[in-house]
Structures are given as C-alpha cells and as structure tokens.
Amino acid sequence: MTSADDVLAGLHDTRGWREDFYRDLHAHPELSGQESRTAASCAERLGEWGFEVHRLGGGVVGVLSNGQGSTVLCRADMDALPVKELTGLPYASTATATDEGGATVGISHACGHDVHVTCLLGAAQLLADRREQWHGTFVALFQPAEETASGARAMLEDGLAQRIPRPDVAFAQHVLGLEAGTIGTTIGPVMSAGDSIRITVFGQGSHGSMPHLSVDPVVLAASIVIRLQTIVARETKPGKFAVVTVGSSVAGTKSNIIADRAVLLLNVRTYDDDIRRQVLSAIERIVQAECDAARSPQPPTFEYYDQYPLTSNDAAVAARVRSAFQRHFPDHMVDLGRVTASEDFSRIPDALGTPYFYWGVGGFAPGTTAPPNHSPYFAPLVQPTLDTGTSALVVAALDYLAHGRDPVAVAIA
C-alpha cells in the first residue's frame, strides 16, 4: 500500500457528507465576488480539521503544518455564473442575485466550481485525518471570482504571499466534458491567455449630407475591423495559435448623423506570451495607423479588461504527477490537449514563484455529448466525479508530501 492508498481508504467514510455538501452548494450558488456563504462553510470545516484559517481577498486559505517537508498548495474556485439553471436536477438552483448592472438574474454553478470546492474540502479532510501518512505543509486555497478574472489577483493584493509559506508546487483542476472517472492532462500550455480590449476611436461629427465636414468613425472602424484580420492571417507564424475577434462595433444613432466616435470590443486568445505581446502590439499599431490615415482628431484609447494569464503546466511537475495518476488511475487517463478557455489560477503560483499543474476531471456519462461549461444544462454526475476529483488532489499532493518521496528541489532541478 502506498500512502495515497492509505489516505484514500477514508474515501468511503467521507462520501456521505461530500455528496450532501455538493448538492447543498449546487443549490446555493453565489456570483463572483459574493461568495460569502461558500467561503464561510469552507472556513468552518477547515477550522474543525485543525487547519490555520486565513480570510483574505474574499477567499479562504487553510494551512495544515505537519512537520518538515515540502509545501503543496491546492486551489479551488468558488464562484457561480449568471445562468438560469435548466438541468431539472432535484438539487437544481432556483437562486437569483443582483448582477453588477443592478438586474436580477438566475444563477447557477454552470461551470462546476461546486465540484472543485467539494473535492478540495474532501482532500483536506482526508489529509488532516491521516496526517501520520505524510509530512510537510498542505495549503487548501478557496478562491473567489474566477469568472471575472479578479479573484486570484484580489487574494494576492490582500497579502496572500505574506500569510502562507511559499509553496513548492501548486495544483488546480476543472470539471470538464470528459467521461466521469477520467482525468485529462496536458504538459505545457493547457488554457489560453485571454484579453478583452475596449478601443475608442475618434472622428468629427457632421450632418449625414455633409461628409466633407466630417471624419467618419464608422468608415474608420470598418477599416480597422478588416485590417485586424491580417494579424492572424499575415503576421502570425503558421502553426502558432492566436484568435482576434471583434465582438462588438458600435457608432452612431441615426442615418443622417455622422457620429464623433466608435467603440470596438476585441477578444484575444493566445497560448504563448511572445505571440500574445506580438498580437496586442499589432492591434495597437494598426488602430493607430488607421486613425492617422483617417485624419482622426484625437489619439485612440485602449482599455484592457477581463485579462486572463496563460495557464502553462510545468513540464517536470506535470510529468511527475501524471505518472502518479497513471499508477493510481490506470486506464482512466486521457490526453486533454489544449483548451481554448482561460483561467486566472496561474496568477497565484506565478506571483509566488511556484511551478504548477492544472488538469481536467471528467464529469459525464460515457457515450453522451456533455453540455459545455457555462451551459444552463451543465450537470456533472455526482459520482464518480466527486471521488475522482478528491482522489486526484490527494494523489498529486502526496506525490510531494508522502514519506520517502523525493524533495521538490530534486524533482524540478
């Protein structure tokens, strides 16, 4: 028996509360930045199990110090989405909340963050209950506001680095449309960097019949939209991944008025920091040049928002944990490949100088077409999803914490 087998012998005994906790959390979702009930229940349980509990940036961190050894951080995100649930599950959410614009919206755990919270709490209890099986420090971090790309930053700005020991390795997972019971892994880039940009370009307003007195921002914006297409088609090396989408282009109110400005909303996805810098710089260059060509009276403005960092798994950590997964979950490993969605998890290990590994957990019946994350029909199977996600965190953590394991410094040298 390995230490992981010994610790996971407790899986059966904890299954009841984990499933109850999950269904309760699913029925009580909270929007990004409003996760007070979820955070309180995480803090309460961590305290009961002997963790030192910190509340910061809207999140919760539990630190379980258990002698000399490596420090392992596992992170779960807590927030739900403004999506009205249509799953028909007996524990489906009927909750509503007030969004940023003041509107009442139906909310649900349509991204499965309730799975992540439950699995991390489950792993925390198993490790606390069987601490004679390992040594070192286990850090369980419950993060708010992943969906708005702001929660990881909020915890860092509230002093996370000063409140916890520096982790040697960090882990996070996401429930995805894979078969329940499976784990999907990728070495290297796994989730794209995401940038949204609000660009305002300025013209000169005029009567629609007097274009010679105007600088027309509609024509300027149209030229920009067309020219931006050349960034991926003509400037990005074939085989390198980049997406540049103009999701919104708004100017003017009436057919006979030439407006004085246009606003474009862009979304950019990349897997490589160099390509990301190249694409963002090309966008600014093209917009500026088109404004010059149009005799724009005022420089354009660029407002970056909803920015997600690249999630790129450390090769050595990913290979090491994948081997541990293969030993523990034989025949249940799949290649995750690259996911075009984005995550803010990596801000935390990047800020702490910690290598990390982020993997996918399956949540759906074999042979079915799973609804995508964020769908109102997103409904992971309770089991084996919860047991798999809980076990994966325990197996990964114990690969660095169990007696007799290589120190981290050797593993990542």
Residues tagged active-site: 79, 146
341 vs 398 by CB, closer to Zn ion? 341
Residue with smaller CB distance to Zn ion, 144 or 217: 144
Q: What CA–CA distance (Å, rounded) separates 204 from 206?
A: 7
* Footprint (CB under 5 A) of Zn ion, residues 176-195: none
Query: Interacting stretch for Zn ion, rule CB under 5 A, among 111-119, 198-206, 241-249, 384-392?
Result: 111-119
Under 8 Å between Cβ of 335 and 151: no
Give the helix/strand (H/E) hosting 44.
Answer: helix 36-48
Both tokens of 117, joined, read 């919270």
Judged by CB under 5 A, which stretch of 2-10, 110-118, 195-203, 289-297 contacts Zn ion? 110-118
Q: Which stretch binds Zn ion (CB under 5 A): 104-112, 165-173, 210-218, 226-234?
A: 104-112
Residue type, 383: Q
Taking CB under 5 A as the rule, does residue 111 contact Zn ion?
yes
Nearer CB in complex with Zn ion: 217/363: 363
> Under the criterion CB under 5 A, does residue 336 sit at the interface with Zn ion?
no
Q: What distance lies between CA 115 and its chain's CA centroid?
A: 14
| 227-263 core/surface letters (b: 16 or more CB in 10 A; e: else) | bbeebbeeebeeeeebebebeebebbeeeeebbbbbb
Tokens 């796994």 locate to 190
Shortest distance in whole angstroms from residue 242 CB to Zn ion:
22
Cα dihedral 402, 403, 407, 410 sign: negative
Q: Does 76 bind Zn ion (CB under 5 A)?
A: no
> Residue 76: which of 3, 144, 30 has the closest Cα?
144
Structure tokens at 334: 């799949």
| Closest residue to Zn ion using C-beta atoms | 111
Q: Which is nearer to Zn ion, 111 or 266 (CB)?
A: 111
Report which residue type is found at 253: T
Q: What track of x and - describes contact with Zn ion for positions 243 through 282 (by CB under 5 A)?
A: ----------------------------------------
Stretch that binds Zn ion, among 108-116, 196-204, 260-268, 390-398 (CB under 5 A): 108-116
Summarize as ranges the residues that interact with Zn ion (CB under 5 A).
111
